Structure formats: C-alpha cells, structure tokens
Amino acid sequence: MLKMNESNYGARDQADPSDQLRNEITAFVPDPRSLMTVVRRSDGSTSMVTLAERHENIASFELTAAVPADIRVHFETSKNLYLYAWFVYRFHSVAEQQALATLEFALRECLGLRFPSFCGPSVKRSPGLSLLLGKARKEKLISNDGLRARERLALLRARDRASMARIQEMTEKGLTEMYYKESEIEPLPEDYAHDPLDVFEKTLPLLRNTYAHGDSMLHPTVLGTFEIVTDLVNQLYPEAAQ
C-alpha cells in the first residue's frame, strides 16, 4: 500500500522564498537565479552577467519618435519589467507578455486609423493578434526586410553552407583540418529564402495567449521577443511618415 508522506508533500507544495512576496529588506536583493546567469566574454572567460549589462541590453530596444507616445510608454513598461527581473526572476514572463501586448496595441492603433471597418472604434469585436499581424502584412505595413532576425538567420545559413563545403573539400583531399574565418562569410541571395515573419505570425499569438490564460512557463530568454516587437512596431510607424 502506497502512503503519501505528508511532510514531504507539504515541502514540495511550498513556494520557494524567491517566488514569494518580498519585504522591505529583501525587496532589492537580487533573485538567486539572476546570480547564476553567466556569459562568455570575448577573451574566452566566463563571468556573471551584471545588472548594468542587463540595463544595456534592454535599453538597446528603442521605438522611434514616430511611434505614438502612449505606445512608447507601454513598451517602456515592459523594458522596466525586464530590468527588475534581476530582483524578481518571474518578471521575465510578465515583461514578455507586456511586450507582446505593446505589439498588439500598436497594430490595433495603426490599423484602426487606416482601416476603421477592420478594427476601428465601431467594430464590436476587435481582431486578435494573429489577424492583426496578417492584415498588417497583407497591406505591406510590415515585412521581413525590416527584421534583424532575417539577417541573422541568413548569416547562419551562409556559415552552415560554408562549413559543409569545407568538410566536403577536406574529405575529397584527405585533410584532417582546415582554417577559415567565419567573419569573412557573406550571405548569398539563397540564404534569404526563408520567411521569419510567417513564423512570427503563427508563434507570437500562441505565446501571447499562453500568458493571457495563465501558465507556469518561465524562461529568461525574452530579449528575442523584444527585438521582434521593436522591429515590427517601428515598421508600423516609419520615421519618414512622422
């Protein structure tokens, strides 16, 4: 007969102190998980990521002055949440959710002005993030050309292609090693034959809905979402049109 150990169950069911409400003493103490995050330096060494570095990373994502102020403030809130995740680790999820809400906010505001019958004030049920993204792309308000992720993926493809070509050359020549500089590899047109925006159209709404309906998901790698949101919102409000 299996008998539950009540004392063990209680311990398992108890939330970790780092996930509980802080007090006036612990409010500004770094979350223990933040102190476990390390980065590899250019000299090959590794060390803990500092709060200053976190600030530098998140501060690099800026919406242009062409974006309406209320949308920019909404996005700044998500950036502050990311910064303060140094103290409350679970703010990572809240920060990402807020960033995705900024994207939806910007899409609704932009499309509402241009296409009031689609998502304007008179529309009883406003379309969700998926439909908003699809409409913005159909109207050529957003595209892959304005995404930094597209360049990064193209470069990865180019480097993979170059690596495979050299492996084949080594095999044909019976070589055991070969040196080349990855920094000299440039993407070719075929390396851009992918559609990251199509992927984002499918995945961002799913991620946003997961957060909206409640989930225990927790991951600190949310800067990619901040980059995507920054690039898309800035496309919706190009500076030349300010």
Model confidence pLDDT, tens digit, residues 101-159 = 999 999 999 999 999 999 888 888 889 999 999 999 999 999 999 888 877 776 777 67
Stretch among 71-80, 104-113, 189-198 having the lowest mean pLDDT: 189-198
Structural domain contains residue 15: no
Structural domain contains residue 68: yes
Residue with more model confidence, 184 or 60? 60
pLDDT of residue 10: 44
pLDDT of residue 161: 72
Rounded Cα gap, residues 180 and 170, in angstroms: 12
Q: What is the pTM of this model?
A: 0.81
DSSP character at residue 40: E
The mean pLDDT of 213-220, rounded to a whole number, is: 82
Residue with more model confidence, 129 or 193? 129
Note down the domain range covering 92.
45-153+185-241
Neighbours of 64 (CB within 10 A): 13
Neighbours of 108 (CB within 10 A): 20
State the DSSP string of 111-160. Answer: HHHH-HHHHSTT-SS---HHHHHHHHHHTTSS-GGG-HHHHHHHHHHHHH
The mean pLDDT of 44-55, rounded to a whole number, is: 90
Rounded Cα gap, residues 229 and 1, in angstroms: 54
Q: Which residues pair with 40 in a beta bridge?
A: 46
First to last CA, the chain: 73
Structural domain contains residue 27: no
Is residue 34 exposed (0-12), middle (13-18) or buried (19+ Cβ within 10 Å)?
buried
Structural domain contains residue 202: yes
pLDDT of residue 13: 67
Average pLDDT over the chain reads 86
Which is nearest to 133 in space by CA: 61, 199, 226? 199
Stretch among 89-103, 132-146, 160-174 having the lowest mean pLDDT: 160-174
- Backbone φ/ψ region at 126: left (φ over 0), alpha (ψ -120 to 50), beta: beta
**Pair of tokens at residue 240:** 């030349």
pLDDT of residue 149: 81
Is residue 86 exposed (0-12), middle (13-18) or buried (19+ Cβ within 10 Å)?
buried
Stretch among 17-31, 107-121, 159-173, 208-222 having the lowest mean pLDDT: 159-173
Structural domain contains residue 175: no
Stretch among 51-65, 89-103, 157-171 having the lowest mean pLDDT: 157-171
Structural domain contains residue 92: yes
Number of domains within the chain = 1
